[in-house]
Structures are given as structure tokens and as C-alpha cells.
Structure 1
């Protein structure tokens, strides 16, 4: 799948996927990822699980799942009168995507500092890999601009 993830926030002080998702978004995605992907999930499924923990309104869960679909984390299929949500990524794929985006952003916006930080990690390989990644990003952006 080639969806462009909508990740516009990074909170370094938050744990795990909450670095890029809100608490409720992360909780919903964790519930969805805990199920077989091909099974699909309804708003009611998630609402019933979260209601005991958080006393949320059904509409809050519905609007949050809709927002996750707009961010391309979920896709929606309408079956009769019910909307079924499916993850576009496994949890590991999502983490890889957002880590890649963050590293790419650091390389583009803070090239010297990012390369220096990789070098200070004591791994010449990491710094060299970061330079290759920066070259690849630069080439790709050059092609897109043509």
C-alpha cells in the first residue's frame, strides 16, 4: 500500500505511537491492531471496549476513527448500514513509516546536526547510512520537482 501518512505532530516526551498520535487515537489503533486485520472493526466494537475505561460518547469514538481514516491509518468499507474499519498498516509498518518520516525531516532540515548526532552514536555505519539516505532523498525530490 502506498498511502501518504498524515503525521504533522511529534511529541518526543510521549511514549510509543503517542509521539505522533493523540491518546485516544493511539488507544483505538492499538485495539484495532490487536485483532486480525482482515476481520475489520466497527465503531461499536471499539466503543464497547473503551466505554468501560473512559466513559466516552459513541460520537467521540466515531469521529476519532473517521479522523484516523483521513490520516490514512484506517480504510472504511460500507457494508449495508455499517462502516467497517480496516488498518492500512500493521503496527510495525506504521512505526517504520513515522520513524522514516522523522529521520527524513531531520536530515532535510538539520543535515549537519543530524549527521553529527549519528556520528556521535559511535557508529560510522549509521552516519554513512544517513548520508546515503540524504542523497537518496535529494535525488527523489529532484525527480519530483521536474
Structure 2
């Protein structure tokens, strides 16, 4: 029993540290806590009721957080056959999945920055800055898919078998 309580305490500390780091990086605090809670569970999945209990949060707060995390494709909602409760879970390779779907966002940011640079003019500091940002996003749009595929290949190579 002492072993379980020390494991639970460690899991709680890691959950809060992860949530704080995600929030510090710009994620909504409750979404950060929900995501961290899923990361630190061995199964990588919890129901809304389990999340509310674990995080001492209202069902409305959990609902908003999971809706956001689903929209940015960081979690998935499933419903086991015959169950009336949704289960929220992580994908097997969460960061790969989250980043591979960012292509359209990067493309929109590139186009927005390019348009802004054109509107403001390349002779202005703001226009030059936006042009440089557009170049960065164009580079990321080109390089990110290959980088992510190299990651996926590294995870399935013979050294991982």
C-alpha cells in the first residue's frame, strides 16, 4: 500500500509539472492539466468523470478542455461498444500526429505573413519582418514532413524491435 501511495504522489507531481510547463508554453491551463493527466496514466485514457475527479474540476471545465484538445488533435474521443461514456485517449505517437496535421496551419500562417509583407511593403521594417516570418513558415512547410517521417522510421527501425 505504501508503494502505491508513493507512486500516486509521484504521478501527481509529474502531472502538475507537465501541466505547468504546457500552460507556460501557451496552452490553456485546464487543457494543459487534462493533457498532462492523460500522459501520466499508464493506459493513456480517462473518462470525463475520471478527469473531473482526478483534477478536482467541474464537468464544464473538463468539457471545454477536451473539446480544445480534440480540435488541435492532441486527444481522441472513443466510446467502447455498449458503453454510454466517452473515453478520451492519446494517440500512440501524439507529437507526430499533432505536428503532421499542422501543415495547413503553417501554410495559412505563411500566406498571412506574405500578404502582410506585401501590404506593408518590403521597404518597411514590419514588412521585412513579416517577409522573414513567411520565409520561415515556407521552410517549415517543406522540411517538417520529411523530419516527421524520419522520426517515424527511427521508431520502427530494427533497434526498436
Larger Rg: 2
Q: Which has the higher contact order (CA 8 A, sep 6+)?
A: 1
Query: Under a length normalisation based on structure 1, what TM-score does the superposition of the two structures give?
Result: 0.48
Query: Under a length normalisation based on structure 2, what TM-score does the superposition of the two structures give?
Result: 0.45
